Amino acid sequence: MRYWLLKSEPDDISIDDIAAEPARSFAWTGIRNYQARNFLREMQVGDLAFFYHSSCAEIGIAGVVEIVGTTYPDPTQFDESSRYFDPKATPENPRWLSVEIRYVKKTRLLPLGELKSHPELEGMKLLAKGSRLSVSPVEAAEWRFIEGLFKA
């Protein structure tokens, strides 16, 4: 099993939106960064991800989701009405990928400042200077440490 962090703007989709339909899987679409897309390729069914709220008043880890479907072409790249439309993408040669996620649990919000305050997390990709990736790997030791913070 691998661990991940997925960032979302709560205005697009929040942990509360996902928690409202716990049996439903949600398509993780709209990734338009090649490095983040490559991380999507590595995801396997059963992997877990921290669900991170970004670009909002209270940014931070807000919950946990599970990867429940392997990668497939992101349908928004072909939809001319979508803000994620990519005119260079074709069904024969898609450029962008999606995965399916499902709710696991909502957690207390772990703000970015709190995450940065722990030396145990100094190597975390999320905390790297200039990191803006919406998908990033989380090391197993980082995952275990953050899980412990939820209980604090």
Per-residue pLDDT of the chain (152 residues; tens, 9 = 90+): 999 999 999 999 999 999 999 999 999 999 999 999 999 999 999 999 999 999 998 999 999 999 999 999 999 999 999 999 999 999 999 999 999 999 999 999 999 999 999 999 999 999 998 888 899 999 999 999 999 999 87
Look up tokens 């697009």; give the residue: 12
**pTM (two decimals):** 0.94
Structure tokens at 70: 């392997």
Q: What is the pLDDT of residue 129?
A: 86
Question: ∠ CA(2), CA(12), CA(116), 5° rounding?
Answer: 50
> How far is it, in rounded angstroms, from Cα 7 to Cα 30?
11
